[in-house]
Amino acid sequence: MEVSQRAPGRWQLATVLSVKAETPRVKSFRLDLPMWMPHLPGQHYDVRLTAPDGYQAQRSYSVASSPLDRGEIELTIDRLADGEVSPYFHDVVEQGDQVEVRGPFASYFVWRGEDPALLIGGGSGVVPLMAMLRHRRRSMPELEMRLVYSVRSAEDVIYADELGDDATLTFTRAAPEGWGGHTGRIDGEVIAAALAGSPTAFICGSNGFVEAASRLLLAAGCDRTAIRTERFGPTG
């Protein structure tokens, strides 16, 4: 009997099962993987595009789905106007298309069931945190896990229909009408309200966001060794 290789380093051709518009700039892609293997929430896949002339571009995208979704993964991609790979996904990739991926990768920025866990995301930095939240809801709903999510405005909220009591939002540019919650950047007050016990903290976003959130957690007395960070891009 032939045994298919499931080593994460192997490139494989995934088929796009569905495309969902999350916000005007963000789409989620559900992919069917011929060599699927379970990931840990927080891990990412590499995606590789090849042009007809052989030119290749490769980028990393976090898995947004729970590993309980066997055989498939969800990637959520923010469209950067002057980008190479993210506009291709937004403007070209459709249901039924095939894309080359390999993974899952990363052993550091992963949630292994730590309790309590505090998740802090800025913009598309919420993607790997959503995998943690989704997986915890389905596998260990009794565990203490809170998401603090910073977005510019209401139309930028990714996974809006899935955010419940375990999520605290803050709007940095424009809050929706009648909003009674926090506005502006994440500050010490937001962190203090979200802290429960001594959490393992996961911070994901731009460099500037990760730096600022890490400083706030340290100032609030969190242990440096309990803070795990993932940086998506060069700008703040």
Ligand X SMILES: Cc1cc2nc3c(=O)[nH]c(=O)nc-3n(C[C@H](O)[C@H](O)[C@H](O)COP(=O)(O)OP(=O)(O)OC[C@H]3O[C@@H](n4cnc5c(N)ncnc54)[C@H](O)[C@@H]3O)c2cc1C
233, two tokens: 């891009």
Q: Which of 28, 76, 150, 229 binds ligand X (CB under 6 A)?
A: 76
CB 78 within 8 A of CB 26: yes
Question: Which of these ranges, 77-85, 153-161, 166-174, 211-219, lies near ligand X under the rule CB under 6 A?
Answer: 77-85
Nearer to ligand X, 20 or 196 (CB): 20
Question: Which of these ranges, 70-78, 137-145, 168-176, 179-187, lies near ligand X under the rule CB under 6 A?
Answer: 70-78
SS3 88: helix
82 binds ligand X (CB under 6 A): yes
Residues 111-150, interacting with ligand X (CB under 6 A): 124, 127
Considering Cα of 150, then 166, then 156, then 138, what sign does the dihedral take? positive
179, two tokens: 């909003």
60 binds ligand X (CB under 6 A): yes
On the CB side of 202, CA atoms within 13 Å amount to 29
Place of tokens 């940095």: 172
Please state, in angstroms and rounded to a whole number, the distance separating the CA atoms of residues 7 and 4.
9
Q: Which of 16, 23, 25, 61 binds ligand X (CB under 6 A)?
A: 61
Please state, in angstroms and rounded to a whole number, the distance separating the CA atoms of residues 205 and 125.
4
235 binds ligand X (CB under 6 A): yes
Residues 19-48, interacting with ligand X (CB under 6 A): 44
Question: Which of these ranges, 75-83, 93-101, 110-118, 215-223, lies near ligand X under the rule CB under 6 A?
Answer: 75-83
The minimum distance between CB 1 and ligand X, in angstroms, equals: 36
Residues 206-225, interacting with ligand X (CB under 6 A): 206
Nearer to ligand X, 62 or 200 (CB): 62
Question: Which H, E and C letters describe 167-215, residue by residue?
Answer: EEEEEEEECCCCCCCEECCCCHHHHHHHCCCCCEEEEEECHHHHHHHHH
156 binds ligand X (CB under 6 A): no
Interface ranges with ligand X (CB under 6 A): 44, 59-62, 76-78, 80, 82-86, 124, 127, 206, 230, 232-235
